[in-house]
Amino acid sequence: MNPLDPRDDGQHHADGPADDRPAEGTAEGTGEGTPAGAEDARDDERPLVRLAAAPGPRGVAVVTGGSAGLGRAIVRRLADEGWDVAVLARGRAGLAGAVEDVAARGRRALAVPTDVADHAAVDRAADEVETVLGPIGLWVNNAMTGVFGTFLEVEPEDYERATAVTYLGFVNGTRAALRRMVPRDEGVVVQVGSSLAYRGIPAQSAYCGAKHAMVGMTESVVAELLGQGSRVRVCMVHMPALNTPQFSWLKNLLPQHAQPVPPIYQPEVGAAAVAHVARHPRRSTWVGVSTVGTILGNRVAAPLLDRYLARTGISGQQVDLPPTDLGPNLYEPVGGDLGAHGEFDDRAATSSPQLWATQHRGVLAGAGAAVAGAGALALALARR
């Protein structure tokens, strides 16, 4: 059986033991995947398509880099909200796990092994998604890779590879999405950005440069679509530090284990933001107080941040943890189905008041107007 055959009715998934795995956040378990080295024959046999469910009410979404980390959390959240989900990534175990996550939530799922740095492969994957699942209504560019190390330490080939995935992967995904959405005059593209898209930090120059470039590219595309009168929306969601497996699999030239710069949030916080923007598109959304502070701080005090990061930027990205045996994912995917979470569950926040405020702007505006009105009334009565 060809797991990518659109004629596959998906019925075989009922026998897969992972379909009984609890959804993440339930009392029974976390829904996380198997660690590297725990793969068995089932990982090679699990299907990459599940079509048993009826088409989702929200339509078809594509998530690049959806096999692990934030992408995996986004896949789960979108499926929970009624999207059929296609996942583009390299590692088969993670792809199969993501398909199981979507199917367990009652939605149709497809995984297409894809290196997003290859524009032709991304375009072929988009064709396959529309053939199997239907027209793409939402495309989330999320795939990334990188190297922890100072600029002169990073080999040119590694720098180019990190840029090809983290920047050109977004270019390729955006092009594939718009080629299909613009003729239909509908659809949403979400670019997963970062606070580091506006403020570079030591030891991550390749990643920071790619995210900065993504912002420039996206702003150009937004202006072009507006000029054409298109109803297709391209949005950016800029993330704070998240507790994902990337700090165990990115190539690390630092003396110690890499860590996200605190405060750290769980990936579900970022996934909730992406899902919200998919429903309510807006040009740019900042997630987490730290993202707001970083972007605004860089606007008003960049030289001060330069000096602060010169003292703390490298040490703040390291932690005394034993090394992992995952190996870098720069050129090849790491083994195993790693799920969404990294090694920092004990330090990661599960919610963001700032994100809640962003999602409930109308409620807050109404409350503010009510308070202002009550104050004006009280003042008028006091003057009588």
* Positions marked catalytic: 207
Contacts of 69 (CB under 8 A, 6+ apart): 242, 244, 245, 246, 267, 338, 340, 342
Q: How far apart are CA 178 and CA 192, in angstroms?
A: 17
Residue at token pair 């992972």: 18
| Of 285, 15, 5, residue with least CA distance to 131 | 5
| Number of C-beta neighbours around residue 279 at 10 A | 11
How does DSSP classify residue 164? I
Contacts of 163 (CB under 8 A, 6+ apart): 206, 209, 210, 213
Contacts of 280 (CB under 8 A, 6+ apart): none
Across 14-168, the runs of DSSP E, i.e. the strands, are: 49-50, 59-64, 83-89, 109-113, 136-141, 147-148
Q: Which two tokens stand for residue 11?
A: 């019925």
